[in-house]
Amino acid sequence: MIKHHPKFELIQSFVNGELPASLSAGIAVHAEMCPKCSQIISQLTEQVAETSFEINMLDNVISEDNRTSLKFNELSETEINTESMIDLITDSNDTFKVEPELVKTITLNNKPYTLPNALKNMPLSKTLHMGKLSRARIQLNENEIHTSLLKIEPGGAVPQHTHKGFELTLLLEGSFNDENGEYVKGDFIMLDGTHTHNPVSTEGCLCFTVANDALHFTKGINKLLNPIGTFIY
């Protein structure tokens, strides 16, 4: 059961088109798996559409007051022939072919994964293997923001670390746990420099990750990994 969701403010920014593509994709993928957030997004989208429609209507009314326009009853039947328009539509024999849904998979360490709809058309780099971690960058060209698919093999872990910026982890398959509990498919975990954790996956997992700065490893010999902190997420 999904327990971790995007904050309302983040969903609102998503609906308003204010987020970078990486975070927008994360929320879209989460919504595919979470009926609760999908409903919130639908309701906010309707509100935005209604507001936009009302503003456009008001603009049109103001514009009409400032110019002379033709009245509907002044138009001839040759200019507007409603019956002909209806006949043209209803008499059409055109058929619409429904295209089969595109399925895109990625194979990491010989295991295939089906990608969510929001990620299907995003280009992926070659996979980098680091012990029990495998990472393929999603190439969105967002400068300092790095977006990836990260696989943790069964029994694998990301060493204890904190974050110089923000880190989004969205579970696509499997589960992992850290100091704050267990996370399952669909969980949307947003962290920053106030958080320190050590994700461990017993059964293995695949995550969609977004980070705008390097991880900062905080414990023991793993501190030696800090120069390559940007290579994991």
**More confidently predicted of 56 and 147:** 147
pLDDT tens string 129-141: 888 999 999 999 9
- Annotated domain spans of the chain: 8-90, 105-231
Mean pLDDT of the chain: 81
Its pTM surpasses 0.85: no
**More confidently predicted of 16 and 52:** 16
Q: Is the pLDDT of residue 225 over 80?
A: no
Would you say domain 105-231 falls under CATH 1.10.10.10? no
Confidence at residue 101, expressed as pLDDT on a 0 to 100 scale: 63
**More confidently predicted of 171 and 163:** 171
Q: Is the pLDDT of residue 182 over 90?
A: yes
Confidence at residue 132, expressed as pLDDT on a 0 to 100 scale: 92
| pLDDT tier for residue 82 given thresholds of 50, 70 and 90 | low
Confidence at residue 204, expressed as pLDDT on a 0 to 100 scale: 95
Q: What is the 3-state secondary structure (H, E, C) of the chain?
A: CCCCCCCHHHHHHHHCCCCCHHHHHHHHHHHHHCHHHHHHHHHHHHHHHHHHHHHHHHHHHHHHHCCCCCCHHHCCCCCCCHHHHHHHHHCCCCCCCCCCCCCCEEEECCEEEECCHHHCCCCEEEEEEECCEEEEEEEEEECCEEEEEEEECCCEECCCEEECCCEEEEEEEECEEECCEEECCCCEEEECCCCCECCEECCCEEEEEEECCCEEECCHHHHHHHHHHHHCC
